Structure 1
């Protein structure tokens, strides 16, 4: 019997209700006012400066709930459960018409987002193949083709509820289409492991 095997899949974790409603509300109310830094991708997108979990009790509470999930997800990436730390967190405020351009996150291994408000169906986070390097020189792309996991250029994440979290490898390209609904608030973060070891040498992060 023929068998199709998906080689080297990229993990994506969807974790519902990681933060409770009170904490979600507190984060949205407190940090929306601090989201004053403009984003060059869109005039209707702003965000806070990069924050550390120890800068606010609200961020500390969120980090304590997120970190066990990082260990679980990190075991998929590195084959071992190890200590993880959130190195920075920030809150994004996307007003109607705002969008987030395609990007990834440098200097980290796991990135994530916690949704703090409802998300319009057309403004869900979209993940894309990395540009170049994996496609054929020719493409079969027309109205009659069927999109599947092996030929699609992008994947639209499931509709999140406030408090839901998504984790993904930091190298994965992603974007947010123009927001067609009410203000969309999310909290993003980057994480690093305590150390990486490989047959006689190791790198320790943080400090």
Structure 2
């Protein structure tokens, strides 16, 4: 018998191409890019809209209706059951040349997602990282001869997306955007929660 390597407790990340059609993508860019007026502390070249509800715009209602089935599929991986899901908030990010987003995660939610609304330069692909202070060894083996793989990597760079593509990830997962060497990058981000969770006689209900 040959040796077997088992990946224990993997973290799911869902990539779904072309979730939003081009006409809706263009309409979201046209409507919200001029409304991203709130500056981000990470960079002067990064701004975003206020936190929005899907009901705030017919465009967001359309986007939410297309994204929510994917959240349901992703939630089945997280919780082992088909649950109802609600999008808590949505916002549009505008990242201009030279802008960046610092490492962060999303509080008060269970699933988070990004829909890419414009072309993304390779320099500004979303990067996911291991949580600082995790359960790693205190000493590292890190030099030019090391082969990086899923068990020793500290970050993962997402593939280049196309406008309309979606990624979904657990809200606790740390992520960032490196300095953008390309043109304006616009994304629609959101957080979602299940409508209920049950655990051996206890039921928690959530309201978006």
TM-score norm. by structure 2 comes to 0.99
Partner of 1:112: 113
Partner of 1:158: 159
Partner of 1:137: 138
For residues 115-157 of structure 1, what are the alpha-carbon distances to aligned partners after superposition, in whole Å with 9 as ceiling and x for unaligned?
0000001110000000012110110001111111100110000
Number of matched residues?
207
Gaps of at least 5 residues in structure 2 are none
SS in structure 1 of the partner of residue 35 of structure 2? coil
Runs of 4+ residues deviating >2 angstroms: none
Partner of 2:77: 76
For residues 65-98 of structure 1, what are the alpha-carbon distances to aligned partners after superposition, in whole Å with 9 as ceiling and x for unaligned?
0000011000000000011010100000000000
Partner of 1:12: 13
SS in structure 1 of the partner of residue 90 of structure 2? strand
Deviation at 1:30, TM superposition (A): 0.3
- In 2, the alpha carbon distance for the partners of 1:18 and 1:126 equals 21
- In 1, the alpha carbon distance for the partners of 2:58 and 2:134 equals 43
Partner of 2:58: 57
For residues 30-81 of structure 1, what are the alpha-carbon distances to aligned partners after superposition, in whole Å with 9 as ceiling and x for unaligned?
0011100000000000000000000100000000000000110000000000
Alignment of 1:176 onto 2:177 = yes
Partner of 2:29: 28
- In 1, the alpha carbon distance for the partners of 2:85 and 2:180 equals 33
- In 2, the alpha carbon distance for the partners of 1:71 and 1:145 equals 39
SS in structure 2 of the partner of residue 81 of structure 1? coil
- In 2, the alpha carbon distance for the partners of 1:25 and 1:133 equals 40
- In 2, the alpha carbon distance for the partners of 1:66 and 1:39 equals 25
Alignment RMSD: 0.6
